[in-house]
Amino acid sequence: MYALISIASGVASGLIGFYLGIGLTALVRVAFGHSPWDAQISITVGYIFGLVGWLMGIGMWGAWGREWFGLPTYARKAPGWQRYFVFNTDHKVIGIQYLVTFVVVFLLAGLLAMLMRAELAQAGNQFLTNDQYNAIMGLHGILMVAVAVAAVIGGIGNYAVPLMIGAQDMAFPRLNALTYWLNPPVALLLLLTPALGGLETGWTAYPPLSVLTENAQLLFNLAIITFGLTSILGGLNFIATIIYLRAPGMTWGRLPIFVWSMFVAAWLALLFTQGFAAALLMVLLDRALGMSFFNAQNGGDPLLYQHVFWFYSHPAVYIMVVPGFGLALELITHFSRKPLFAYKYAVGGLLGILGLSGLVWAHHMFTSGMPNYLHGPFLVLTEAISIPTGLIFLSALGTIFMGKLWLKTPMLFALAVIFNFALGGITGIFLADVPTDIHFQDTYFVVAHFHYTIVGGEIFALFGAIYYYFPKMTGRMYNETLGRLHFWWMFLGFNATFFLMHWPGILGMNRRIADYPSSLEGINLIISLAAFALGASFLVFVFNMIYSWVRGPVAEANPWRARTLEWQTSSPPPVENFPAPPVVRGHPYEYGVPGSVHAIVPTPLPGGAPAGGAK
């Protein structure tokens, strides 16, 4: 009931705002002698009003907005599972909201990929027309980009970072709730794009096509500008939290490596996301107001967009993969039962990536006709980023060496990150090197490469972290056998699909096409079959998660014998995390060091009940 009231009032005031915006636009337009409706302007203004209405209705008005007018604030009460459907400021609730939302989006976008592979199993158009294929491909792309940006940072980061540094919550809890509740409108807009003609431009939205195309592009632009806002606000919140809310004694040199990686990713999100939002805002202005930023006939330049866009979108891949590295190293050290090898170098590697990531964007544009003298510097800088990345590998390989590897599901996923990224990193060299890139640009070689880095590097880490934190989040244990089954199935399906995908790229199969030359048919059929196997592996995951959340055995506070702070409180933790701030005394990874102590933690308060109540 509480959940229903919360969502219903959000939707209702969102709709009121939307129509209010459209009405006001019509009034102003009529007053100046125009027709009352212009799709670009009316939808944009309606959306801005609707977005504010939605946020206020979902609970921001009560928890925050009233304060601006000197009124007392209140929070909607919601017991049990219903707390996930209200404007809740608890970082643990928000983390789970993010995680569940984006796992659902991941599965949905995965289904779209299955449709694409079904169409590509044979040459010619089987059951999708070209525009249907483009719409599905574009939607798969942008939904997966959203998952890759938000699932680890918003989900695992929100849940784990305050716990790991011994804080009670994020620095700005209400901002955190706002950040989450901006996401449902983004999802709604993107899912509505097929109704307005479908995305024609892929997730990269290059003008002039994105200026000329259907109004689905308008929804896309509004969605991504909103999503960019969540990324920026989230980044700001993590930076403030990690700088100011560390428990006494949690020095920078004792910070868990995942927290370091989140710190780096938060800076990247804060610094670079504006580029993406700005690029799409310019497309929006071109569409709505005819500003001609990208229209060559009126003095604009299509390449301007590509520079601004990639100035964000290359750092964005590090926003995605750096927390993946952090998680992989975190899991590897706990499950190897050894200190994290070369901790300071690993931190240096993460900071090196932060420093270089903003200087490599134009390697996406080697064939774009930009001046030739730009190619050399971008080639050199792009290949230089392999040096800090190598330090992550040093740390991982050094940690597992002579360890006591406890091969639970999370550890399997963490090892797979190292395995997959070795290949994904090396194929990046072919794309950084201009003479090879001018053939590979926009081919399936690129598709294989970025799936190896983002899925192989980040999404594997995400699933490892989901299994790792499942007992902490739900108070129940997942089924280990099903977890391992999911891992091996996904690992083999993933490698079969994407390793083979390099070959059609070499042979000359370009990406983003529903049809291809007949000679590429055999290899594409095999890739499609492998992709279906990969897709089916997630059925095991979904079953395990749902079943274990309801029926799994009650978990201990620290089933992994991990030393970091989030495991020193009950599972699930109480709302305030720790009864009093823990006092950190040493490094979090001193496994095998006699008498070592990470922190003195006050005796935990009784935590929340496991999901579904204690048994």
Partner 1 sequence: MARHIVNIVVIWVILTVLGALVLTLNFFPATGAEFAKDFNGIFRLLAFMGLPVVTFVFAWVGYSFFAFRARSGEDEGPAFWGRNWVPIVWLAVTAALAITVMIYPGLTGLAKLQADPRGYGWGETGADLVVKVTGFRWSWSFEYPQQGITVNAVQGRELVLPVDATVRFEVNSTDVVHSFWIPAFRMKIDAIPGRTTYMVVRPVVTGSFDDDQAFRVQCAELCGLDHAKMWLPVRVVEREEFEAWVQQMKAQ
Subset of residues 417 to 476 that bind partner 1, contact rule: CB under 8 A: 418-419, 422-423, 426-427, 429-430, 432-436, 438-439, 441-443
CB 467 within 8 A of CB 410: yes
The conformational region for residue 213 under phi > 0 = left, psi -120 to 50 = alpha, else beta, is: beta
The 3-state DSSP class for residue 387 equals: helix
Whose Cβ is closer to partner 1: residue 404's or residue 551's?
404
Kindly state whether residue 376 participates in binding partner 1, applying the rule CB under 8 A: yes
Please report which residue ranges of 552-598 form alpha helices under DSSP H.
none
Whose Cβ is closer to partner 1: residue 197's or residue 612's?
197
Positions 111 through 130 that interact with partner 1 (CB under 8 A): 130
Kindly state whether residue 335 participates in binding partner 1, applying the rule CB under 8 A: yes
Positions 569 through 598 that interact with partner 1 (CB under 8 A): 590-593
Residue 450 Cβ vs partner 1, minimum distance, rounded to whole Å? 15
Positions 235 through 274 that interact with partner 1 (CB under 8 A): none
Kindly state whether residue 134 participates in binding partner 1, applying the rule CB under 8 A: yes
Kindly state whether residue 481 participates in binding partner 1, applying the rule CB under 8 A: no
Stretch that binds partner 1, among 74-82, 281-289, 399-407, 525-533 (CB under 8 A): 399-407
Kindly state whether residue 302 participates in binding partner 1, applying the rule CB under 8 A: yes
Provide CB contacts within 8 A for 388, sequence distance 6+. Answer: 348, 349, 350, 351, 352, 353, 356
Stretch that binds partner 1, among 8-16, 68-76, 173-181, 382-390 (CB under 8 A): 382-390
**Half-sphere exposure (CA, 13 Å, Cβ side) for 271?**
18
Kindly state whether residue 28 participates in binding partner 1, applying the rule CB under 8 A: no
Size of the site for partner 1 (CB under 8 A): 96
Kindly state whether residue 351 participates in binding partner 1, applying the rule CB under 8 A: no
Residue 106 Cβ vs partner 1, minimum distance, rounded to whole Å? 23
71: its two tokens: 């009124």
Kindly state whether residue 560 participates in binding partner 1, applying the rule CB under 8 A: yes
Residue in 342, 353, 454, 601 binding partner 1, rule: CB under 8 A: 342
DSSP at 168: S
Whose Cβ is closer to partner 1: residue 290's or residue 592's?
592
Whose Cβ is closer to partner 1: residue 2's or residue 503's?
503
Residue 520 Cβ vs partner 1, minimum distance, rounded to whole Å? 8
Whose Cβ is closer to partner 1: residue 238's or residue 335's?
335
Exposed, middle or buried, 33 (CB in 10 Å: 0-12/13-18/19+)?
Answer: exposed
Residue in 76, 338, 486, 598 binding partner 1, rule: CB under 8 A: 338
Q: Give the burial string for 53-71 (b: 16+ CB within 10 Å, else e).
A: bbbbbbbbbbbbeeeeeee
- Relative orientation angle of helices 409-432 and 480-500, to the nearest 10 degrees: 10
Stretch that binds partner 1, among 230-238, 246-254, 334-342, 462-470 (CB under 8 A): 334-342
Residue 6 Cβ vs partner 1, minimum distance, rounded to whole Å? 40
Positions 202 through 241 that interact with partner 1 (CB under 8 A): 202, 204, 206-209, 212-213
Stretch that binds partner 1, among 99-107, 320-328, 405-413, 475-483 (CB under 8 A): 405-413
CB 93 within 8 A of CB 574: no
Kindly state whether residue 164 participates in binding partner 1, applying the rule CB under 8 A: no
469: its two tokens: 């934190």
Kindly state whether residue 2 participates in binding partner 1, applying the rule CB under 8 A: no
Kindly state whether residue 375 participates in binding partner 1, applying the rule CB under 8 A: yes
403: its two tokens: 């360890």
The conformational region for residue 221 under phi > 0 = left, psi -120 to 50 = alpha, else beta, is: alpha
Alpha carbons 342 and 128: distance in angstroms, whole number: 51
Residue in 8, 71, 192, 407 binding partner 1, rule: CB under 8 A: 407
CB atoms near residue 371 (< 10 Å): 6
Kindly state whether residue 33 participates in binding partner 1, applying the rule CB under 8 A: no
Kindly state whether residue 614 participates in binding partner 1, applying the rule CB under 8 A: no
Provide CB contacts within 8 A for 31, sequence distance 6+. Answer: none
Stretch that binds partner 1, among 37-45, 106-114, 318-326, 375-383 (CB under 8 A): 375-383
The CA-atom distances, in angstroms, between 360 and each of 292, 306, 440 are 27, 13, 18
Exposed, middle or buried, 35 (CB in 10 Å: 0-12/13-18/19+)?
Answer: exposed
Residue in 90, 169, 200, 458 binding partner 1, rule: CB under 8 A: 200
The CA-atom distances, in angstroms, between 57 and each of 16, 53, 480 are 10, 6, 41
The CA-atom distances, in angstroms, between 363 and each of 176, 340, 387, 435 are 34, 33, 17, 12
Kindly state whether residue 355 participates in binding partner 1, applying the rule CB under 8 A: no
Kindly state whether residue 308 participates in binding partner 1, applying the rule CB under 8 A: no
Positions 497 through 556 that interact with partner 1 (CB under 8 A): 503, 506-508, 510, 512-520
Residue 499 Cβ vs partner 1, minimum distance, rounded to whole Å? 11
297: its two tokens: 């006939």
Encoded amino acid at 369, one letter? G
Whose Cβ is closer to partner 1: residue 38's or residue 556's?
556
Residue in 20, 108, 278, 394 binding partner 1, rule: CB under 8 A: 394
Whose Cβ is closer to partner 1: residue 86's or residue 527's?
527
Residue 476 Cβ vs partner 1, minimum distance, rounded to whole Å? 19
Kindly state whether residue 336 participates in binding partner 1, applying the rule CB under 8 A: yes
The CA-atom distances, in angstroms, between 504 and each of 134, 339, 431, 433 are 20, 43, 16, 19
Whose Cβ is closer to partner 1: residue 137's or residue 322's?
137
Alpha carbons 338 and 308: distance in angstroms, whole number: 43
End-to-end CA distance of the chain: 25
Residue 139: alpha-carbon gap to chain centroid: 15
Whose Cβ is closer to partner 1: residue 95's or residue 388's?
388
